[in-house]
Amino acid sequence: MKRLLTFGFAMMLATPAFAQAPAAAAPAAPAAVPAPVLLSIDAASSSITYHLVHKLHKIDGASKKVDGKVRILPTGQAQVMVRVPTESFDSGNSNRDAHMKETVEAAKFPVIELKAAADGVAMPTSFPATVEKTLKGKLSFHGVDKQIELPVKVLFNSANSATATAQLNISMDEFKIERPSLMFVKVDDALKIDVNLTLKN
């Protein structure tokens, strides 16, 4: 009888209902989230140039001390920050530059800054490639903050290098800047700005 019970118990363990269940499969590893792409402005090959118009002549001044970064998030949003020292613009005439620094109160407002963003931006998959977007953000100049929209054209030479160009027209009156005069005639209110940036990873 004891042998029969032992044999019967062994047979029950051998049936599928009593067999050991297979180990559960390990959960799949979560998909890796792409890291943001970070590009920095290369000051040595970047510039911001202003253009002023007077009835008698035109004035151009450029700065090559541009600083800033562009960050492209996995969500497709591009975040941009560009800064330039107010006193760094050079028109080729030291007396005129000194007057412009007084006009824009460079000592009191030492930095011109743009913080902006654009949606729907993705790194190209082949190069060279051109991307055109409109940045929306805040321009801080002469102690005044203004919301602006800035169309930008970006040429990606590779995944690690790009050039960005843009043009912006602002009103000196809106930024509370007293327009300089020559021969008792003030310069035009419109201040045209050309932006040429080299971005590197």
Predicted confidence (pLDDT) per residue in 54-70, tens digit: 988 899 999 999 999 99
Torsion over CA: 62, 68, 73, 77 (sign): negative
Beta-bridge partners for 67: 83
Predicted confidence (pLDDT) per residue in 34-44, tens digit: 899 999 999 99
Query: What is d(CA 13, CA 10) in angstroms, rounded to the nearest whole number?
Result: 5
Query: What is d(CA 165, CA 197) in angstroms, rounded to the nearest whole number?
Result: 6
DSSP readout, 87-118?
Answer: GG-B-S-HHHHHHHHHHTTTTTS-EEEEEEEE
Phi-psi label, residue 30: left if phi above 0, alpha if psi -120 to 50, beta otherwise: beta
The pLDDT score that the predictor gives to residue 5 is: 45
Largest CA distance in the chain: 127
Q: Where are the domains of the chain?
A: 34-200
Distances (CA, A) of 106 to 71, 101, 136, 143, 171: 29, 5, 25, 10, 18
The separation between CA 138 and the C-alpha centre of its own chain, rounded to angstroms, equals 12
Other C-beta atoms lying within 10 Å of the C-beta of residue 25: 6
Mean predicted confidence (pLDDT) in 144-162: 97
Mean predicted confidence (pLDDT) in 177-181: 94
Query: What is d(CA 46, CA 68) in angstroms, rounded to the nearest whole number?
Result: 11
Report the range of poorest mean pLDDT among 4-18, 64-78, 121-135, 160-174.
4-18
Please determine, looking at this structure, whether the domain spanning 34-200 carries the CATH number 3.40.920.10.
no
Mean predicted confidence (pLDDT) in 107-114: 98
Give yes or no for residue 14 having a pLDDT over 70: no
